[in-house]
Structure 1
Amino acid sequence: MKKLFTLSMLFVATALFAQEEATEKKLSISGSVDAYYRTTFNDAGLATTDPGTAFAGQTGFAVGMGNIIASYESGKVGAVLDLVTGPRGAGATFSNDIIDGIVNQAYAYWNVSEGTTITMGRFNTFLGYEVIAPAANFNYSTSYLFSSGPFSHVGIKADFTLSDDMSLMLGVMNPWDTNDISGTGEYALGGQLGYKGQFLNLYYDSGKNGGLGFEIDYTGGFDLSDDFFMGINAAYNTNDATKDGFYGVALYPQLATSDNFSIGLRGELFQPTFDGKTDGIEAITAFTLTGSATIENNLIIKPEIRLDSSKGRFADADGAASDSLMAFTLATIFSF
């Protein structure tokens, strides 16, 4: 009897210990710091002539962004606080923060089941191929498609794992990322359907009060070999309120030449529209060749040459209208 009691107590203690392990609280800290040097070859050196999309448009030495991410998890629930500073962070966050451009993400989540997660707060957008943090992008400067869409959303979303290959996300948010609150009572709808690493994204708001309107966006890519990857982004946007819009496509071929070095090209065609038409609006082409060298896992060095072309959009060394702008950038990104 004593042996049976002892075994029972051992079983209970083991169960309680397993339960305690299952609800173990975990705090993790991560982030990145990046800086760069940039020079142009054929322009007047004016900020107004630089591509508004670059997020790396300073001349000379400059800081890009520093961010620190605190993630806390306890059982099925958790929270993430992502703080940023620097020009890149300020350019991609809300303008009505307590301190302008400091909160990138701030959300809580609940893993309702093995295949369902509900998230509420501010989270980075599901649209587009690229993201705000340069450590997660292959190219250091960003595309026109990335800069023309939203960067983050404030709202609630539900992520569903439908199968090993398929996922679904549905969300309700404040309109676009210019609105930290919804003072007009208007909300946006978003959705994402994923299949084997390919994603179809949909977003809609009325376009009023600085909204984005309607956008459909495809992001994905394919491993063409063990060392060669082709990324793809295509998007179409229209806004009934402002009549502005755009469409475009970007290809991202990337070749790994060794364990520590890769080279990639982003080729992009971006066409702004007005009232659904392109009359008198020149398309923009941009080619960005980037090398990526990893130093001891944490430090990445990225030399980059970028050529933007569009009739009369830029300025030459004398300040006259120019059809192109070429720049060289050397960036360093440290992640922890």
Structure 2
Amino acid sequence: MKKIIFTLLLATSLITNGQESEDKGTFTLSGTVDVYHTSNLKNNSPGSVGVLYGGSGTPNGFGLGMVNTIFSYKKGKAGVVADLAYGPRAVAANAYEGAINQLYAYYKASDKVTLTLGQFNTFYGYEVISPAGNFNYSVSYLFNAGPFSHTGVKLDYASSEDLSFMLAVTNPHGITAGANTGNDYQLGFQTGYKGQYFNLAYGADGFGFTDVLYLDYTGGFDLSETFFLDINAAYANSSDADSGYQGFALYLQNTFSNKFSLGFRPEFFTTTSGAGDANVSAFTLTGNLSLTESLKIIPEIRLDSSSDLIIPGFTTDKSMTGATLAAVYSF
């Protein structure tokens, strides 16, 4: 491991600012760091919903998100990406104890066709693992429902500037780490047109079921020069498990200046099963304050409600109100 780190540091010192030479190609280094403080405004229960995937974050107080460092190297038509992530947020969303967020090689067969092999973040859904890629700091129920990442092969085809397609064959997303002992696979498909995307995944989920269907739509519209509306709607179901989920979230964001934006995310989520459905809603108000080009401060307040008692981490409460103040640094 020390030898690998030394090699990467040496490459960084020799190839700076992403400059390309004919012999060595292009090396780039980027990443993010995020930290936060969270408070439960309703009672003394710990954490705030959605700060970490699958439930609440650290108990009331300060917490660590993750640091991810992305090494990428490109030469000619081929390249590799090693996205290494550490910290509670990374562990919650990834296998290998959060060490590997993405690790893949790619080959651009032409200007339109790209082949990728390895572990890559999901094409499915609106939100992503890295907080720098999301407007809200807490994540939605739709994102928590997964999948997060895939290990396999995918083929991207850019038919035009407006129209694109993607086909994928991967391990079940629940076993992005380790062997695919069941010899089961998951198929993926995406088509995009002018910023609107339809996503599909079908097959084994890695959690014991082989017939899970995932459908997802993500898209958005510029309602004015400063006001944006984005949408995420999803449906999942397994006949074997007799269960699934469905829901949608709206992302309304207004840019007041080059320093400050304000966003509101209403979400409605339902888990479905033969035993009956259960519902939860979440309303999140988020500010984005850019102190510098790299450092962003994110104040956020969120209200979750469920008469069916399915709020993660708060299964005896019908509602939970949390406040979070986060800092995200991108480099």
Match of 2:11 in 1: none
CA distance in structure 2 between the aligned counterparts of 1:108 and 1:308, rounded to whole angstroms:
40
Structure 1 residue 314: Cα displacement: 7.2
Match of 1:5 in 2: none
Match of 1:197 in 2: 195
- CA deviations on 1:113-143 (whole Å, 9 max, x unpaired) are 0100000000000001000000010000000
Match of 1:285 in 2: 281
Structure 1 residue 210: Cα displacement: 3.8
Kept in 2, the 8 Å contact 1:154–1:177? The answer is: no
Structure 1 residue 44: Cα displacement: 3.5
1:159-198 correspondence to structure 2 within 5 Å: 159-180=156-177, 181-198=179-196
Secondary structure at the counterpart of residue 106 of structure 1: strand
Match of 1:8 in 2: none
Q: CA, structure 1 residues 72+21, in 2 after alignment: closer, same or farther (shift >3 Å)?
A: closer
Match of 1:69 in 2: 70
Kept in 1, the 8 Å contact 2:49–2:56? The answer is: no
Q: CA, structure 1 residues 119+201, in 2 after alignment: closer, same or farther (shift >3 Å)?
A: same
CA distance in structure 1 between the aligned counterparts of 2:39 and 2:202, rounded to whole angstroms:
39
Q: CA, structure 1 residues 21+156, in 2 after alignment: closer, same or farther (shift >3 Å)?
A: same
Match of 1:91 in 2: 92
- CA deviations on 1:122-178 (whole Å, 9 max, x unpaired) are 000000100000001000000000010210000000000011210000000001233
The one-letter code matched in structure 2 to 1:271 is: T
Q: CA, structure 1 residues 30+207, in 2 after alignment: closer, same or farther (shift >3 Å)?
A: closer
CA distance in structure 1 between the aligned counterparts of 2:171 and 2:36, rounded to whole angstroms:
34
Match of 2:291 in 1: 295
Structure 1 residue 101: Cα displacement: 1.6
Secondary structure at the counterpart of residue 98 of structure 2: coil
The one-letter code matched in structure 1 to 2:146 is: G
- Range moving further from structure 2, 195-204 or 170-179: 170-179
CA distance in structure 2 between the aligned counterparts of 1:148 and 1:166, rounded to whole angstroms:
28
Structure 1 residue 207: Cα displacement: 4.7
Kept in 2, the 8 Å contact 1:191–1:202? The answer is: yes
Kept in 1, the 8 Å contact 2:57–2:63? The answer is: no
Match of 1:17 in 2: none
Match of 1:78 in 2: 79
1:43-192 correspondence to structure 2 within 5 Å: 43-46=43-46, 50=49, 53=53, 57-58=57-58, 59-94=60-95, 97=96, 100-180=97-177, 181-192=179-190
User: How large is the Cα RMSD of the aligned pairs?
Assistant: 2.2
Q: Which runs of 5+ in 1 are unaligned?
A: 1-19
| TM-score, structure 2 normalization | 0.87
CA distance in structure 1 between the aligned counterparts of 2:136 and 2:54, rounded to whole angstroms:
10
Kept in 2, the 8 Å contact 1:55–1:142? The answer is: no
Match of 2:329 in 1: 334
- Identity value in percent: 44
CA distance in structure 2 between the aligned counterparts of 1:55 and 1:139, rounded to whole angstroms:
16
CA distance in structure 1 between the aligned counterparts of 2:159 and 2:173, rounded to whole angstroms:
27
Answer with 1 or 2: which has the greater Rg: 1
Structure 1 residue 244: Cα displacement: 2.0
The one-letter code matched in structure 1 to 2:145 is: S
The one-letter code matched in structure 2 to 1:294 is: S
Q: Which runs of 5+ in 2 are unaligned?
A: 1-19
| TM-score, structure 1 normalization | 0.86
The one-letter code matched in structure 1 to 2:170 is: M
Q: CA, structure 1 residues 129+314, in 2 after alignment: closer, same or farther (shift >3 Å)?
A: closer
CA distance in structure 2 between the aligned counterparts of 1:250 and 1:142, rounded to whole angstroms:
11
Alignment size in residue pairs = 306
> After TM superposition, which residue ranges in structure 1, 4 or more long, deviate above 6 angstroms?
none
Secondary structure at the counterpart of residue 89 of structure 2: helix
Match of 1:256 in 2: 255
Answering whether residue 267 of structure 2 is matched by residue 268 of structure 1, we say: yes
Match of 1:36 in 2: 36
Match of 2:303 in 1: 307
Structure 1 residue 208: Cα displacement: 6.2
Structure 1 residue 282: Cα displacement: 2.8
Secondary structure at the counterpart of residue 278 of structure 2: coil
Q: CA, structure 1 residues 282+251, in 2 after alignment: closer, same or farther (shift >3 Å)?
A: same
Structure 1 residue 271: Cα displacement: 0.4
Kept in 2, the 8 Å contact 1:55–1:88? The answer is: no
Secondary structure at the counterpart of residue 285 of structure 2: strand
Secondary structure at the counterpart of residue 39 of structure 2: strand
